[in-house]
Structures are given as structure tokens and as C-alpha cells.
Amino acid sequence: FDKIDGVIWYDGRLVPWADANVHVLTHGLHYASCVFEGERAYGGTVFKSTEHSERLKASANILDFEIPWSVAEIDAAKQFVIDKNNLPDAYLRPIAWRGSEMMGVSAPSNTIHLAIAAWDWPSYFDPAEKLKGIRMGMAEYRRPDPATTPAMAKASGLYMICTISKHKAERAGYADAMMLDWQGRVAECTGANIFFIKDGTIHTPIADCFLPGITRATAIDLARRRGIEVIERRIKPEELDGFTECFITGTAAEVTPVSEIANWKFTPGKICEQLMADYTAEVQPKGKAAAAA
């Protein structure tokens, strides 16, 4: 990472960017005992901060460790990082992991660390440009059976297949890859959830073997507030022929229309456009949005 200025919150202290290091014998590095979050601040306020802090704590618990900071303390630390670095529009990366005291699969008393980094990430985009949609390929790996992995944790180890799949898609000229689940049904993308539209209704896979995104919940809520029906159900890939619009959601992607998945074509239309606009309005800090209205 070539950013070298600014400070990172590291176990309760602010350390210079370049000094926020870990030991090579870190358990999290060897055995993936590591969980993280991806969040965004808009206008100096972290969007859905508490939901992300709660998910981080829950992910750690699923991996059998406890982050020694409360949700309120993590929320405050994130805000502190944004303020100290003067980053009103930023991406935040909180990460928690088992430390390096004991080397071996079992290391129940290793210190649990927490770090929070943030960097500038403005979200201004040209809606017309974004409405052209991104092109996606098919991932070579499937989301694993939740009986074989802690699927509900935002755990580093689960990203191995995402990185491999995304690299392969990018080499083929695509922006991302759609992943199927362990039973061959549509699941999500390598870092975002997926939605399809047919006859004015939104369809999205049931999030039982992949991360139910905070943006996914926001998009479902925004659609329902507009009176659009949202159905969570099993979606087979061959059904993609019948959908007219497609979009993905995630903290980084926000609401991003899709024009193509392998041989399936979509034309981003009114619902994509409305949800993009609604999402942009929703992420504004509430006080400021109200003041501007």
C-alpha cells in the first residue's frame, strides 16, 4: 500500500501509517484467525457504523475470539480515525486478529489485536456513466457449504476464493465475477451481493451461505420504501435469461448496475437508476441532509 501519511488506530493507540506492522508469526496470518470490515464515511460520518462494529464483533466470536473493545468503543475509534486524518469521504478497514505468542493451530490465549485504517475515497460518480453497467464473468469457485465454513463471518480466510476468482475475471477483461453457491445456485460476487429485476420485482438470493451485506439490507429497505417488491429466493443460473436488470450492492460498490454476466445481457433501467439515487441520498449524514433539504 503506497499511502504513507496519516495515522492508524492500533490497539488503542494512533500510530504512523508506516509503523502499523505485525510479526511474521502472527496466528492470523498463518491460520486465518482474522476478521475485518469494509466501511465508508460520507461527509465525515461512518455509514451504518454500529451495524459494522456489531458484525465485526460477531465475526470474531464465530472464529472463537473476543475483540477486547466494545461496539461503542469501536464506533468511537473509527470516528477518531476519520477526524484525526481529516478524511470526510473515506473507506475504513477495521481488522481484528490473533497475535503471535503461540504458533500452532491451537492458540487460545494469544493476544487479540484490533486496527482501524482509513483512506480517502470519494464516492462521486456520473450516474449516466454508471448506468452503462459493469461486465462480469463467472467465478471458478463456488461459495462453500455453510456446514464446512463459518459462512456468516466476514473472515479473511473466506476471501481466498474471492481473490482467485476476481483476478481471473479481471484478466479476462471483466470487472468482477459472479459466484454460485455450493449447490450451483446464484450466490453473490467476490465482494458484493447481487440482485435481479423482472416485471418490476426484485429477486435476490437467500443469504444463507454468504455474507448478508449491510448494503444489501439497505437496498432491500430502499426498494420496499418505494413500494417495489423484493423476493429473497433460490435463483438458478439458467433463470438469468428471464431478468431484464441486474445490480450489485456493497460498501465499495454501493449500488452498481450490471450489463453482462458471461453470456447473459441486462439493460440497467429505471429501478437501478432509482436505487442508485436513493442510496446516494441515504448515505448522507442525517443532520446535513436535513439541513440541505
Helix (H, G, I), strand (E, B) or coil at 127: helix
The answer to the question of residue 282 lying near ligand PMP (CB under 6 A) is: no
Q: Which of 85, 204, 215, 256 binds ligand PMP (CB under 6 A)?
A: 215
Write the Ramachandran bin of 200: left for phi over 0, alpha for psi from -120 to 50, otherwise beta: left
Residues 147-166 that bind ligand PMP (CB under 6 A): 162
Radius of gyration, CA atoms only, the chain: 19
C-alpha cell read off for 111:
493476544
The answer to the question of residue 191 lying near ligand PMP (CB under 6 A) is: yes
133 versus 205: smaller Cβ distance to ligand PMP: 205
Task: Decide if 78 is catalytic.
Answer: no
The answer to the question of residue 188 lying near ligand PMP (CB under 6 A) is: yes
Instruction: Return the amino acid letter for 282.
Output: E
DSSP β-ladder status, 45-46 and 112-120: unpaired
Q: What are phi and psi of 220, to 5 degrees?
A: -60, -45
The answer to the question of residue 118 lying near ligand PMP (CB under 6 A) is: no
113 versus 216: smaller Cβ distance to ligand PMP: 216
Q: Give me the residue whose beta carbon is nearest to ligand PMP.
A: 213
Q: Which of 214, 261, 272, 283 binds ligand PMP (CB under 6 A)?
A: 214
Count of positions (residues) in the chain: 293
Q: Whole-angstrom Cα distance, residue 66 to residue 284?
A: 32
Q: Which of 84, 154, 166, 198 is catalytic?
A: 154
Q: x/- site string to ligand PMP, residues 25 to 64, per CB under 6 A?
A: -------------x--------------------------
The answer to the question of residue 211 lying near ligand PMP (CB under 6 A) is: yes
Q: Whole-angstrom Cα distance, residue 113 to residue 120?
A: 24
Q: Whole-angstrom Cα distance, residue 95 to residue 60?
A: 10
Instruction: Please give the positions annotated as active site.
Output: 154
Binding footprint of ligand PMP on the chain (CB under 6 A): 38, 162, 188, 191-193, 210-211, 213-216, 249-251
